[in-house]
Structure 1
Amino acid sequence: MKPVRLLGMILAGALLSFGQVRAEGFPSKPIRLVVPFAPGGSTDIIARAIAEPLTKILGQSVIVENKAGGGGSIGALEVVRGSKDGHVIGMATVSTTASNPAINKKIGYDPIKDFQAITNIAATPNVIAVTANFPAKDYKSFIDLIKRNPGKYSYSSSGTGGIGHLQTELFKSLTGAFLVHIPYRGAGPALVDTVAGQVPMIFDNLPSALPFIKDGRLVPIVVASSKRLAVLPNVPTFAEVGLAPVNRMAYYGLLGPAGMSKEAIDKIHAGVQKVLQDPAVRKRIEDTGSLIVGNTPDQFAAEIKAEYEIYKDVVAKQNLNLN
C-alpha cells in the first residue's frame, strides 16, 4: 500500500473517531428546559432569558417547555423521569422543591433525592402587601392590628402548598398572629382579588405586586430580602423587624434528574455562568425584580435542602394539610 494512501486512511479513521466522540458527548441533541408553570410568570421569563444565549454556548437548542399543573409538580415529575444524560432539565422554584413537597405527601417525588441541583440563576424578594384601604400602613401598626384581632383578617395565596401560603404560615408561627388562608388557583387570581379588595392582604413575589404598589392599589408592609430594596426604600426587611427566618427570597434555578451525568452538569453550569455575564441577560432578569445568583451545584443543593426543612417544620408546627 502506498504511504500516501495509508496516511489518508489513518487520518480518515482519526477524524471518524473524533466525530464519534463529539457525537457521543454532551449535548448531542436539543435540550428540553421544563418550566413547571404557565407562560408569562417569573419562572418562565427567567427560563426564556437564559435559553437562547445558552443555546449559542452549548451548540444545541435549549427548548423551553411549559408543563403547568399540580402546583408545579407535573413539570417537576417530567424532570425526575427524564433521561440522565442532561437533555431534560427543569426550572426549580421554592414551590416545586420545598413548600409543595413539604405539605403534599403524595406529590410523587423527593425534592432532595430525586433531583440534581445545577445552579440558582436568580432570587426574588417577596412582600406582604395590603389593600389601599387597610387600616394599617406600616409594619408596627400592621402587626399590632392583626394580633389584636385574631381571625378577623385573611390573606390570599396561589394555592395550598405554594410559597405564599407557607411563607405566611411561617410568619404566623413566629408572631402568634392568626390570619385566615384563602387559596386560589394561581398567583394571578389571588393578586387580582387582593387588589380589588376581596381579600385584605397577600404575600407575593415582588415583580407581580410591584406595579400595583407603584400605582397605590397595594401598600407594602415588609419584604423578604437580604437588604432594603431601592424600589421600596422605606419598607423594612423581615430581619429588621425581628423575623429573620421569614427573610427568605424565592429562587429560580436549574436542576436535572438524580444521577445526571457529571459532564452535563459541568457544561450546563459553565454555560449558565457565561450567560449571566451578558449585560442584556442580566438586565432582562433584573427587570423582573430578581437578583442574579449563579452559584455552584453544591450551594444550590444546600439552599433547596434548607428551604425544604424549613417548610416541613412549618407544616408540622402549623398542622397544615391539603384539605
Structure 2
Amino acid sequence: MNILKKTLCLSVMGTALLATTSMALAAECPDGFPSKPINYWVGYGAGGGTDTIARALATEMESALGWTVIVQNKPGASSSVMMSQLAVAPADGYTIGVTSSGSVTKFPYLNKKSPYTKDDFDYPGTAQEAVVSIVAAADAPFNNFEELLEYGRAHDNRITIAAASGSVEIFTKAFTAKTGVTFVHVPTKGSTAALQSVLGGHVDITLQGTGHVQHLKAGKMKQVFTIGDKRPVFAPDSKTTVELGYDLKGTNSYVLFAMPKNIDPAVKTCIETALADATNSQGFAKLQANFDQIPTNLGPVGTKAKLDEIATVFKAYYAK
C-alpha cells in the first residue's frame, strides 16, 4: 500500500470511528436534542482548576458530537452562588453545573439558610477526585506522619496546621484523639495564604489540594502524608491516612456535574453518556496528566452514593 492510499485509508477509518461514536450517542439521545447550545455553569472564576476542566470537556464534546457548549463562570461563596441559580434553572438538560462536591455535601449544612440542598439536583457524574495533601516546607525536620508526631511531642505536644476551611478540624480532632498530640488549626484566607504560612515558617504544616505541587517539583516543599485512601501521582511515596490506620469518612472531594432535578429521563441519559465519553477521552486524560491527575467519573449512581456518604459526615459535624 503506497503512502497516499494508506493516508486515505486512515482518514476513512478515523471518520468512520467518529461517525460510529456520534451514532452511538445519538441512539442515547431523544430526537432533536440538543436543538440549541448546552450551557456549562462553572461555580468558580476563570482560569482555576474547575474552569480548566469544564473548558476541556466542553471542547471534547464539541469535537466528538458537533454540539455547541458555552462555558459561563458564576463564582461566589465556594460555588454556592452558581448552585443557587442552578436549583431554579429550567429542567431541560441545557444547563449543567460544574462544581465541587463540597458545594452540596458541606455548604447546605454549614449555612442553615442555604436556598438549596443536596437533593435538589441530579448528578450525571464526576470529572476528577481531588487530592487532600498535608505538606510542609522542604527543610522541616520531619518527612512523614510518624516523624511529625515525634516533632510535635518535642514541641509542647502540639502541631500547627494552616488551612482555609474550618472542616479541617474533622481530621485534626481524629489525629489528636488517637495520638495525644494536639493539632491546632490556624485559619487562613484561602489555600494560597495557607501555603505561604508554611513557606514563611509560621506554621508546621498545611492542608492543600494540588496548589503546592509546583513547590514540590521545585524542591521547596515536601508531602508529609495524604488524607484518604489513594496515594497521588505527584507524591507516590506519601502514605495515606488509611495506611496509617485512620478511616476518615468524608475526606474525598470531587469535581462534579449537577443538573436541576426532574429532567426528562431520555435527556438525562443523553447527558450522562456524553459526559462519560468526554471524561474518558484521550484529550481529557492528557490534560489531567499535565496536572498530575487522573480522570475519575463515578457515574450517576456512584456519584450519588459518594455524595450521600460525604454529606453524612458534614451534617453530623455542623449539627454540633
Q: Could you say which TM-score interval applies, normalised by the shorter chain?
A: 0.7 to 0.9
Q: Which residue of 2 aligns with 1:9?
A: none
> Do the aligned partners of 1:174 and 1:243 also contact (CA within 8 Å) in 2?
no
State the match for 1:154 in structure 2: 160
Return the alpha-carbon distance in structure 1 between the equivalents of residues 105 and 179 of structure 2: 22
The answer to whether the 8 Å contact 2:109/2:318 transfers is yes
Shift in CA distance, 78/226, structure 1 to aligned 2, threshold 3 Å: same
Corresponding residue for residue 225 of structure 2: 222
Q: What's the TM-score once normalised by structure 2's chain length?
A: 0.80
Which of 83, 99, 105 is equivalent to 1:98?
A: 105
Change (3 A) 1:68 1:189: farther
- The residue identity in structure 2 corresponding to 1:134 is A
Q: What letter matches 1:183 in structure 2? A: P
Deviation at 1:171, TM superposition (A): 5.1
Secondary structure in 2 matching 1:255: strand
Q: Does residue 126 in structure 1 map to residue 132 in structure 2?
A: yes
* Structure 2 Cα separation of the partners of residues 32 and 177 of structure 1: 49
Partner of 1:309: 312
Q: Deviations over 1:93-114 (max 9, x none)?
A: 1321223333222222111x11
Distance (whole Å) between structure 2 residues aligned to residue 115 and residue 71 of structure 1: 17
Match of 1:51 in 2: 58
Question: Deviation of residue 58 (structure 1)?
Answer: 4.7
Q: Aligned residue for 2:115?
A: 108
2: CA distance, partners of 1:257 / 1:263: 15
Matches within 5 A, 1:73-92: 73-92=80-99
CA distance in 1, matches of 2:257, 2:226: 25
Q: Within 2, Cα distance between the matches of 1:65 and 1:166?
A: 33
- Alignment of 1:195 with 2:199, yes or no, is yes
SS at match of 1:245: coil
Between the aligned partners of 1:24 and 1:134, the Cα distance in structure 2 is 61
Deviation at 1:74, TM superposition (A): 0.8
Does the CA-based 8 Å contact 1:47-1:91 persist in structure 2?
yes
Quick one: structure 1 residues 180 and 100, their matched pair in 2 at CA, closer, same or farther if it must change by over 3 Å?
A: farther
Q: 1-side partners of 2:174 and 2:107: how far apart?
A: 14
Q: Which runs of 5+ in 2 are unaligned?
A: 1-28
CA distance in 1: counterparts of 2:172 and 2:73, whole angstroms: 27
Please tell me whether the aligned partners of residues 93 and 267 of structure 2 are also in contact (alpha carbons under 8 angstroms). yes
Q: Comparing 126-135 with 300-309, which one deviates more in the overlay?
A: 126-135
- Structure 1 stretch 150-159 or stretch 131-140: which is displaced more? 150-159
Q: How many Å apart are 1:84 and its aligned residue?
A: 0.5
Aligned to 2:255: 252
Cα distance in 1, alignment partners of residues 31 and 223 from structure 2:
53
Give the fraction of aligned pairs with identical amino acids, expressed as a percent. 23
Distance in structure 2 (CA, Å) of the matches to 1:293 and 1:299: 11
Which segments of 5 or more consecutive residues in structure 1 lack a partner in the other structure? Answer: 1-21
1:228-284 residue CA offsets vs partner (Å, 9 max, x unmatched): 344323211111100122584321111111222223321111112222332122110
Structure 1 segments of 4+ aligned residues over 4 angstroms from their partners: 147-152, 164-177
Question: Quick one: structure 1 residues 246 and 295, their matched pair in 2 at CA, closer, same or farther if it must change by over 3 Å?
Answer: closer
Q: Select the residue among 63, 70, 75 that pairs with 1:68.
A: 75
Aligned partner of 2:46 in structure 1 is: 39
Equivalences for residues 161-176 of structure 1 within 5 A:
166-168=170-172
* Cα distance between partner residues in 1 of 2:102 and 2:112: 14
Per-residue CA distance 1:274-315 (angstroms, 9 max, x = gap): 223321221102322332222321211111111111222333
RMSD: 2.8
TM-score (norm 1): 0.79
